[in-house]
Structure 1
Amino acid sequence: MQMTQALTRAVQTRRNHTATIFAHRKRTWAEVGQRVPRAAAAFRALGLAPGDRLGILALNSDNYIEIFFAAAWANLVLVPLNTRWAVPENIYTLDDAQCKALIVDDAFVPQVPQLLAGHAMAHVIHAGEGAAPAGLLGYEALIADTPPMADECGRDDELCGIYYTGGTTGHPKGVMLSHKNFISASVNWIATLHFSEDTVYMHSAGLFHLAGCSPAIALTLAGGTHVCLPKFDAVLAFDAIQTHRVNYCLFVPTMVNMMVNHPDFSRYDLTSVRYCEYGASPMPVPVLAAAMEKLPTWEFIQGYGMTESAALTVSLPWRYHFDQEGMPSKRLAAGRAAYGMDVRIVDEEGTEVPRGTHGEIAVRGAQVMIGYWRKPEATAAALRNGWLHTGDAAYMDEDGFVFIVDRVKDMIISGGENIYSREVENAVHSHPAVRDCAVIGIPNEAWGESVHAVVVLKEGQIAAEKDIIDHCRTKIAGYKVPRSVTFTDSLPLSGAGKIMKNVLREPFWKGRTRAVN
């Protein structure tokens, strides 16, 4: 299996059809098929060798999708950087992955001097609009000036991309995904989520994220049309759907909530959409009900997965969003195993538990990652006896539907973004007045969950909620910063001396049936 198989098929079968739409620019699959081998050859001409890591920090665009395939064509390893992370976090990623070159767009050109401080980067490429700024190479000029090269893509279990996800140790972990991972996930996506050559798909999730990347590769394999939003904005989404007759979308629940409650919602014709996949965090029942009422032509499909499994692992089809006569309700389920994926609920020893019993979700299949980049201990902890242990607590009913009830890992999901409490705790702890702290997720109607810090101050020190929040803004990305802070004299500890976060969470989640919102 090779990543470039998706592109070569699209060019072969759909050459004169629209491949990408970005702003008012359209390219056919034939045009994309001509540009990618030139971009790949340009990367090689800059001295990048097979297996070298190529970083990219950019908003969504048609160029970004081309770069997925150009990197693979040249047998490079793409390292997408999170556009929402703070500069120190992306510096860590560039250093950890040992990137030899970096691609940026207009939005991130100002960060280049900081990103390169102390980092031996061979080249920085500008893939934005217009001429390249001084000191940067122009993506369009490289394509125009470089003859195409033959496809030298890696294959099967060879490394294709490193996707960084938040880490419980205070640093992000690089998830190593292979060519087989991506192509297997793409075939799964087509089979499970109804992608076809007629699909006109709108990218609103960031392409640095598997919720953006995975459908981009699957849609290319299907030969559909990519409509790229730089980033999610309700009005931009409304306009793109209406203008380009988008028939497929993916949103995290927060986006759906913003759209159905937007004052301009009724001004747009959104009836072209046939399917809407949602995931990354649970959809609050009132939000889903409002979306189903206001968007009656849309069929909603829930997807559950993780970076470590190249996204889609479990899905809940549209028909199960309704109560069926004589059947228990499945509306609150994450869904059933996607094609080609084994899913089990296991105990601490990895043994499958009886149906209806709570345990940890473990998955197995061709989509599961190679491991974590340069983190053998973390890899061994996650991949055990061929199974990926997800850290999500759930039960499975007699019909194979998975119901998520909590998270084994200490993770918060806010607005569809994974936030690991240890990372936030490190930032809070660095405040000079803080003696101890614990970070938990608490219910938030707009974002699903919000980050809450419980802080113990040093004796004689004074700090207010605003002081802690402002301090964290200098250390971590804005979406990870605590939205609220409470102060206490001590934290509850177990007999082993561990902070009992369940005790801290309990007052906030009291009366709810599950500890995720």
Structure 2
Amino acid sequence: MHPYLPLSFADDLERNARWCPDHPAYVQGERRISHSQLLARGKRLGSALYKVGVRNQDRVGILAMNSIEYGEVIAATQWAGFILATVNFRLAAPEMAWIINDGAPRVLLFEAQYLDVIEQLRDELTSVETYVCIDGQADWAMSYEAFIATGDDAGPPCRAREDDIFCLIYTSGTTGRPKGCIWGHRELRQLVQVDAWLVDLQAPDRILIVMPMFHVGGLVLSLSQHVRGGTAHLYRQFEPEEIIRGIERDKLTVLLLAPTMVQMLLDHPAIAGADLSSVRTILYSAAPMPSPVLRRAIEVFDGCGFVNLFGQTEICMFCLSPLQHKPNGSEAERRQ
């Protein structure tokens, strides 16, 4: 007997579509998609993937920057029980080829900006049977919208289970070749639930996701916001002024940033006089936070709590809570 309900991410998608159907799931600039639309698009995309031969626990590769389409691919794999296999767009072409071949996706979705790279690699990508191009097309790659149009509203005849693998995420490979880390629905759902609890994410929250969704940080925190029925605001790259204006315009409440990003925000002239009052929590990760930068950030983002997330692709995250941040405390408190 299970001591808890054996749920998958498919259940989260359906719950959000039922209880907050019109609430935005993702916002990207002027574009947005609601939770009900995300479920509908995810099921239709899952059906299209099934029709070209993808089955439960087959891999689906994606090479793209943060976008609503990326979120739709995540939703399709979440609902259907396909395995999301992300590819780091910052890698050189041979490194991309190694990761794609190691992950062995049957379908590869990629943005048009990588069309030339993928065309050069096609003969090497032995597992890929179908190519789908986001915002573009080629003789050998169907356009994303045309591909989705081949799917059925009912979705594929398979649905994710708790003990399914959800995603395959690769490490940075600092000590050798990148390693593919397997995260199941059960394990990753527990992680996003814990992170949502640690940060006290709620449905009205609007989290900034500028960290790439091909890696665990951006992916997990966007899903942590969704598990509470909230909104993830997607940015494709970090531009300090654009982020500051986004905070003011969209009243962002939670920011996920690297310490260098925090420093760049503080050093930008646009921060002076900006309305930052909506921000209640800043999550920082990926590197140590210098104490002088932390002190400045606490002063500029007055009343905001700071949470230090740390961990690895392979394991759960840990954190230093707002109450444990004492940059002006004793040496022992600062070291702790």
TM-score (norm. length: structure 1):
0.60
Distance 1:204 1:158 in 2: 28
Alignment partner for residue 137 of structure 1, among 97, 119, 142?
142
Alpha-carbon shift at residue 324 of structure 1 (Å): 9.2
The two structures, once aligned, show a CA RMSD in angstroms of: 2.0
Matches within 5 A, 1:253-264: 253-264=259-270
User: Structure 1 247/232 Cα, relative in aligned 2: closer, same or farther at 3 Å?
Assistant: same
Distance 1:331 1:157 in 2: 41
Matches within 5 A, 1:284-363: 284-310=290-316, 312=317, 314-322=318-326, 329-333=332-336
Residue 208 of structure 1 corresponds to 214
Alignment partner for residue 151 of structure 2, among 128, 146, 149?
146
Are residue 123 (structure 1) and residue 127 (structure 2) matched? Answer: no
Deviations 1:466-510 (A, max 9, x none): xxxxxxxxxxxxxxxxxxxxxxxxxxxxxxxxxxxxxxxxxxxxx
Amino acid at match of 2:209: H
Residue 486 of structure 1 corresponds to none
Distance 1:288 1:47 in 2: 51
Distance 2:297 2:157 in 1: 44
Residue 192 of structure 2 corresponds to 186
Alpha-carbon shift at residue 153 of structure 1 (Å): 3.3
Residue 280 of structure 1 corresponds to 286
Residue 183 of structure 2 corresponds to 177
Alpha-carbon shift at residue 323 of structure 1 (Å): 6.8
Distance 1:240 1:134 in 2: 38
Distance 1:40 1:331 in 2: 49
Contact 2:8/2:185 (CA < 8 Å) preserved in 1?
yes
Matches within 5 A, 1:57-68: 57-68=63-74
Unaligned runs of 5+ in 2: 1-6
Residue 58 of structure 2 corresponds to 52
Distance 1:261 1:77 in 2: 41
Contact 1:22/1:228 (CA < 8 Å) preserved in 2?
yes
Alpha-carbon shift at residue 199 of structure 1 (Å): 0.9
Residue 82 of structure 2 corresponds to 76
Matches within 5 A, 1:324-473: 329-333=332-336
Contact 1:43/1:74 (CA < 8 Å) preserved in 2?
no
User: Structure 1 91/254 Cα, relative in aligned 2: closer, same or farther at 3 Å?
Assistant: same
User: Structure 1 132/292 Cα, relative in aligned 2: closer, same or farther at 3 Å?
Assistant: same
**Larger Rg computed on CA atoms:** 1
Report % sequence identity: 27
Alpha-carbon shift at residue 235 of structure 1 (Å): 2.0
Contact 2:248/2:274 (CA < 8 Å) preserved in 1?
yes
Distance 1:166 1:15 in 2: 37
Contact 2:132/2:147 (CA < 8 Å) preserved in 1?
no
Unaligned runs of 5+ in 1: 334-517
Alpha-carbon shift at residue 265 of structure 1 (Å): 2.5
User: Structure 1 323/125 Cα, relative in aligned 2: closer, same or farther at 3 Å?
Assistant: closer
Distance 2:111 2:241 in 1: 22
Q: Secondary structure at the match of 1:143?
A: helix
Deviations 1:326-357 (A, max 9, x none): x8854443xxxxxxxxxxxxxxxxxxxxxxxx
Distance 2:252 2:37 in 1: 21
Q: Secondary structure at the match of 2:41?
A: helix
Alpha-carbon shift at residue 151 of structure 1 (Å): 7.0
Q: Secondary structure at the match of 1:191?
A: helix
* Bigger fraction of residues in strand: 1
User: Structure 1 237/134 Cα, relative in aligned 2: closer, same or farther at 3 Å?
Assistant: farther
Alpha-carbon shift at residue 59 of structure 1 (Å): 0.5
Contact 2:171/2:179 (CA < 8 Å) preserved in 1?
yes
TM-score (norm. length: structure 2):
0.91
Bigger relative contact order, structure 1 or 2, given CA contacts below 8 A and separation 6+?
2
Alpha-carbon shift at residue 170 of structure 1 (Å): 2.2
* Bigger fraction of residues in helix: 2
User: Structure 1 59/288 Cα, relative in aligned 2: closer, same or farther at 3 Å?
Assistant: same
User: Structure 1 206/168 Cα, relative in aligned 2: closer, same or farther at 3 Å?
Assistant: closer
Deviations 1:407-454 (A, max 9, x none): xxxxxxxxxxxxxxxxxxxxxxxxxxxxxxxxxxxxxxxxxxxxxxxx
Amino acid at match of 1:146: G
Residue 105 of structure 1 corresponds to 111
Residue 30 of structure 2 corresponds to 24
Q: Secondary structure at the match of 2:16?
A: helix
